[in-house]
Amino acid sequence: MRPETRNRLQLAIIALLLLVIAAMAWKFIVAGSVGQGEDGRQALLLEPAERAFILQEMRDFVAGLQQMTEALAREDMAGVAAAARGMGSAMSHQAPAALVAKLPLGFKTLGFGVHRDFDALAADAEDLGDPGHALEQLSQALRKCVACHEIYQIGAPSGRQSGREG
């Protein structure tokens, strides 16, 4: 093989590998594993255990909101901060990597965003101790719950549409 030919071949292989890496990065970071839901929303195609993981996190949100509103009504800002911290970024770090790879970028942006909102709420509740400000931040965070539910639902991997087994 002539040196120029070998160089071209090596460049072609490098270009091909870069393409494969870019395609994988796009799939795992941007696209995720998504299909068309029955009600027009995008359906995350997840295994039953992954669906259970997400739904558990959602119910933890509701429990956290209950604690937060109870503390807010008493103007107990340490209680507000504790409830908010429970819904903060520490919560999202428990998500398995295989699940995160299936989540599209829009979902991750809203999901991590809502956790960061609660981090900020916890910090401000401690620093400022202002219930009105906390309530304002809470309503901003809740917008992300609403927005995400409008866009996404959870489906099953292809061939196993949820609720249509057998």
Distances, alpha carbon 81 to alpha carbons 70, 112, 133, in Å: 12, 18, 12
Rounded Cα–Cα distance for residues 55 and 40 (Å): 20
Cβ proximity to ligand HEC: between 10 and 60 the closer is: 60
Does the footprint of ligand HEC cover residue 115 (CB under 6 A)? Answer: no
Give min distance, CB of 96 to ligand HEC, in A.
16
In the shown chain, the binding pattern of residues 117 to 146 toward ligand HEC, with x for contact by CB under 6 A and - for none, equals ---------------------------xx-
Cβ proximity to ligand HEC: between 23 and 46 the closer is: 46
Does the footprint of ligand HEC cover residue 153 (CB under 6 A)? Answer: yes
Rounded Cα–Cα distance for residues 156 and 40 (Å): 15
Phi, psi of 106, rounded to the nearest 5 degrees: -60, -40
Does the footprint of ligand HEC cover residue 58 (CB under 6 A)? Answer: yes
Cβ proximity to ligand HEC: between 43 and 77 the closer is: 43
Rounded Cα–Cα distance for residues 32 and 56 (Å): 20
Give min distance, CB of 68 to ligand HEC, in A.
10
Q: Residue 158 gets which letter from DSSP?
A: T
Rounded Cα–Cα distance for residues 113 and 40 (Å): 24
Binding site for ligand HEC (CB under 6 A): 55, 58-59, 61-62, 65, 107, 110-111, 114, 144-145, 148-149, 152-154
